[in-house]
Structure 1
Amino acid sequence: MTNLSLYVQVFIYVASGINHFWNAKVYQTIMPPYIPAPGLMVSLSGIAEIGLGIGLLFPATRSLSAWGLILLLIAVFPANVYMATSNRFARFPAWLRWARLPLQAVLIWWAYQYT
C-alpha cells in the first residue's frame, strides 16, 4: 500500500477518535442499550482510535496497531448494527445506516494491509 493510503487511514482514525470527545453524546446515542457505561466506552474507543491511528505511522508499531484497529472495528460493529436496525435513527436515511455495515469490512481489509 502507498504512503498516501497509510496517511489517509491515520487521519481518519485520529480525526474519528478526536470526534469521540467533541461529539461524545452522538456516539453514546448509537451504543446498544446492553453495553454498560456508554460514556466510558465512547471515551475508550476514542482513545484507542487515536493511539492505534498514530501507531500506524511507525514501522515498529504498524502491524500491532493494524491488528488493534481490526479488533476495534469488530468491537464497535454492534453499535453500527444497532444504528441500522433501531427506529431511534430514522432521521438518517436507511441506505446510509445500512451502508455502514459493509463499510466495516472495507475498513478491516484496509487495516489488514498493514499487518
Structure 2
Amino acid sequence: MSAPLDKPILGLAGLFLTSGTLHMVRPEVFEAIVPRPLKGYQRELVYASGVAEIGCGLGLLHPRTRPAAGLASAALLVAVLPANIQMSLDHGARARRKATPGARAAFAGTIARLPLQWPMIRTALRAAGRR
C-alpha cells in the first residue's frame, strides 16, 4: 500500500516533472554531466533520464501507480547519483582553474546538493509503502 499524497511526495513529483521537462527541452545542459565512461551516448541518456523522471513524477501523483513509481523513483535517484558527482567534480576543477567567486559558489552548490539525494530517496521509498 502506498503512502498518501503529502507535501514531500508532491514535491518530489514536481521536481521530477520539472527536471524531466528540462531534460527534453534543453538536453545540452545535462549532456556535460554524463559520466565520462558513458560519453558518446550523452543525448540518448539525457532523453532517457528525462522520460524516466516524467514517468516517475506522474506515477507518484496517483495512488494506484505510486508504489511502483516510488520504487522506480528511488532507483532513478540512485542511478543519477554518478552524474551529480560528475557535476561536482567538473565544477570543482573549474573553481580551481578560475578561482572566481562565481565558480567557487557553483562548486559549493553542487556539493551541498549531493546529500539531498538521500531524503529524496527516503521520500520515494515511503511513497512506495516502504519505510
Question: Normalization by structure 2: what TM-score?
Answer: 0.79
Aligned-partner SS, 1:30: coil
The structure whose RCO (Cα within 8 Å, separation 6+) is larger is 2
Q: Does 1:17 align with 2:30?
A: no
Counterpart in the other structure of 1:55: 59
What root-mean-square deviation, in Å, do the aligned CA atoms of Structure 1 and Structure 2 show? 1.7
Are the equivalent residues in 2 in contact too, given 1:81–1:101 (CA < 8 A)? yes
Offset of residue 43 of structure 1 = 0.2
Are the equivalent residues in 1 in contact too, given 2:66–2:127 (CA < 8 A)? yes
Aligned-partner SS, 2:36: coil
Counterpart in the other structure of 2:108: 95
Ranges in structure 2 where 5+ consecutive residues have no aligned partner: 96-102
Larger radius of gyration: 2
Could you tell me which amino acid in structure 2 is paired with residue 34 of structure 1? P
Number of residues of Structure 1 aligned to a counterpart in Structure 2: 115
Question: Normalization by structure 1: what TM-score?
Answer: 0.89
28, 39, 45: which one pairs with 1:41?
A: 45
Offset of residue 83 of structure 1 = 1.2
How has the CA–CA distance of structure 1 residues 54 and 93 changed in structure 2, closer, same or farther, with 3 Å as cutoff?
A: same
Counterpart in the other structure of 2:126: 113
Could you tell me which amino acid in structure 1 is paired with residue 20 of structure 2? G
Counterpart in the other structure of 2:6: 3
Ranges in structure 1 where 5+ consecutive residues have no aligned partner: none
Offset from partner CA, 1:4-56 (integer Å, 9 cap, x none): 33322221111110010222111001111111401100000000000111011
Counterpart in the other structure of 1:80: 84
Are the equivalent residues in 2 in contact too, given 1:24–1:39 (CA < 8 A)? yes
Are the equivalent residues in 2 in contact too, given 1:19–1:46 (CA < 8 A)? yes
